[in-house]
Structure 1
């Protein structure tokens, strides 16, 4: 029996119409699918793929043992997640070695801050793995603002809201165009860093980019609302143009 293939399939920012032809074909033809989700939730990648999945598909939900319950700086965080990823990889490997192809549903692009990367590093040298790239969430977000993100020689920087405020403000001040991800509970820190960098008034907040409940507004007009997990801050470059 030949070994099956693990497909890390990027689903893009949330709109099924934005899947690649290859991703669409793999999802529609899947017999086994796997996806990450928070316990008790449906899973965003599973929601995106829902209208495409065939009847009778066998699902493997990989539920995170921790998300925000333990600080990233706590040594237990990496220990718990490492064991979790090992268990998930072992399950996927067993399916592949039994001759099954498995489609792992991935939000955005599998190689851009995605959990599938932890499967890839554990499986790539053991069983066949095929990664299907996709439109990233940040690309969907800056498109939603209706303005180009970079012009001419603009430098684009992608930052995580989890970084210390001083580092955020320093890197924000040093770039032309900016994307800030992982906002959530870090929103106040990100706002302060943008103000210190002189970019607050130019920042846009995009929530649920390219999804049915998408919202786009200037960050300065968003008030004190707590942004959801699927939110991205955009600052457009204003560089050279003919």
Structure 2
């Protein structure tokens, strides 16, 4: 067992922030340095996003890594029961691996880009672990916070109401919710980009919305939604912000 963490230490979900390692909390950095094993989610044959963020702080050490490879990403539609079934089995396998490490006396940190409790995969592990062993979650700056700061666009003024929407919603539902709020963030763009753009236009927000890609990272891109092509392929780290226009003294 490592002397860096006690045997009774919890399994820790470590929030790494929006992408820039300098925006990581001191608590997260300490957890990265102390954990015996660092587990991270990734696609087959690719390094996980969270692990890439952590590289700048702790470097690459294969002996500490536990790659948790998703069985599916976009191959099966989210609404297909097979998608939930595949991921449920995957998370159970991840739990078994993490518990085995802990039972062997090794501490484990699970790397999470953004904030772990905001659309994060860590939540699915946490839910399965919290009544079995001690778990800890280290919060972090969210991707959307990094995005509206990168865009120089305060998101809420006065009494503005902010709504966060997943791009996976039907276009009509997206448009309805966009019309009914003062400010918005639309996550999970990817293949949903044409639908999201259609919903923004229908809600009359096409001219106010801003597309942000890889906020706080080296390849950061901030452009008005009106300038993004319809056939644009939005990467994982991308979202749309619609700044509020509320009360200003």
TM over 0.5: same fold?
yes
Residue 5 of structure 1: aligned partner: 10
* Mapped partners of 2:67, 2:119: distance in 1: 19
User: Partner residue of 2:236?
Assistant: 229
Is residue 64 of structure 1 aligned with residue 70 of structure 2?
A: yes
Answering whether residue 31 of structure 2 is matched by residue 26 of structure 1, we say yes
Structure 1's 48 and 55: CA in aligned 2 closer, same or farther, altered over 3 A?
Answer: closer
Displacement of 1:52 after TM fit? 1.7
- 2:49 aligned with 1:44: yes
Between the aligned partners of 1:71 and 1:55, the Cα distance in structure 2 is 34
Question: 1: CA distance between counterparts of 2:193 and 2:60?
Answer: 41
Offset of residue 55 of structure 1:
6.5
Deviations 1:30-66 (A, max 9, x none): 3210000011111100100012226755110000000
**What are the equivalent positions in structure 2 for 1:143-222 lying under 5 Å apart?**
143-222=149-228
Q: Aligned partners of 1:201, 1:40: CA distance in 2, in Å?
A: 39
Q: What is the Cα deviation at residue 5 of structure 1? A: 1.7
Aligned length in residues: 242
* RMSD (CA atoms): 1.3
Q: TM-score with structure 2 length normalisation?
A: 0.94
Structure 2 match to 1:238: 245
Note the residue ranges of structure 2 that are not aligned, 5 or more in a row. Answer: 2-6
Shift of 1:241: 1.4
Partner of 2:137: 131
Q: Could you tell which deviates more after superposition, 113-122 or 26-35?
A: 26-35
**TM-score where L is the length of structure 1:** 0.97
Report if aligned partners of 1:177, 1:235 keep a CA contact under 8 Å in 2.
Answer: yes
Secondary structure of the 1:117 match is: helix
Deviations 1:1-52 (A, max 9, x none): 9444211000000000000110011112332100000111111001000122
